[in-house]
Amino acid sequence: MKKKSLIYLVIFSLIFMLVGCNKEEKVTTKENYLLDTLIQLKVYGKNSEKATNEAMDAISDIDDIMSPTKPTSDVVKINNSAGKDFVKINENTLEVIKTSIKYSKLSKGNFDITVGPLVKLWGIGTENARVPSKEEIDAALKLINYENVLIDEENKSVKLKSPKEAVNLGGIAKGFAGDKAREILENKGIKSAYLNLGGNIVTIGNKTDGTPWNIGIQDPLSDRGEYFGIVRVSNKSVVSSGNYERFFIKDNKRYHHILNTKTGYPSESGILSSTIISNKSIDGDALSTITFILGLEKSMEIIENIDGVDAIFVTTDKKVHTTSNIAKDFKLSSKEYIYEER
């Protein structure tokens, strides 16, 4: 399963090709499989090799503490102590949990890191993927409540209020890792870089020829590597969530991995793909999931009211919608879709 995912991600990364990087400058590229996805770093500058190694090491450290399966991770420790004790955790894990709760409040619980029992039940993206019974789903839903994540700021500790509850940081950890990698690279003097964390894109500055990065956005109705449009960005994060990422098919019905915490089933909001352009990738990670679940109208309202954040949505009627500030930097490239002016 992981080998197949790795192949898909290599193909997927081709849609984010770097256009016009002809200027002679030292470049370092590095790949690794972390956070359950392919990580690709492409960094320009005289200090690029050392900086890239440090950035990848930081991503590896985040994988170690936020993994849902590694026995020594903060996440596993929290889940194993659910309903019992506070667990002292790394300050990075604490920051991610606090940010997650902020977005849980913003989305009224549609984004909720205590979705762990539901994620495990469906098993989407694993060899154990299946359609659970209604009784199983109802039981899992009773365990989802971000308000049951108790935080002791002074001691940097976290506790889940009730037994069997479980956190899962899969919807936000990649974004945090991308931000940390960018911070390290910038502190090392890097002015131009392109980071791809399994489809979460983080850019530093412009391309080496001084022009913005051109980021292709995956077509949710086509094969991996096919894109419906291009967005031009500088020093931004571009994160997409869609029904094409991880899924399985049962009785001719597709079940994707973005679960609605209110219904217990894969989200059906009328949005096929949600792309968030933001300064911080952790924000894009959370907001791409939230908007995918909430649907077009609520999502447009939310994003239009957050400074420095924009969005591109694809709906089931094959229309593409953009928030006002990004429209000038987006180009529709597929004839299969209609750009809807707002």
171 is in an annotated binding site: yes
The pLDDT of residue 33 is 97
136 touches 265 (CB < 8 A): no
285 is in an annotated binding site: yes
Domains of the chain are: 2-62+174-339 (3.10.520.10), 69-160 (1.10.3980.10)
In order along the chain (342 residues), what is the average pLDDT of each group of 10 residues?
46 45 76 96 96 98 97 98 98 98 95 95 91 96 97 97 96 97 98 96 97 96 90 98 85 90 94 97 97 96 96 97 95 94 72
The pLDDT of residue 199 is 87
Instruction: Give the Cα separation of 307 and 163 in Å (integer).
Output: 39
317 is in an annotated binding site: no
Instruction: Give the Cα separation of 178 and 223 in Å (integer).
Output: 25
The pLDDT of residue 339 is 94
SS3 179: helix
Instruction: Give the Cα separation of 17 and 239 in Å (integer).
Output: 16
Which tokens sit at 53? 């190694």
pTM of the model as a whole: 0.90
Instruction: Give the Cα separation of 167 and 119 in Å (integer).
Output: 10
DSSP state of 266: B
Instruction: Give the Cα separation of 53 and 61 in Å (integer).
Output: 12
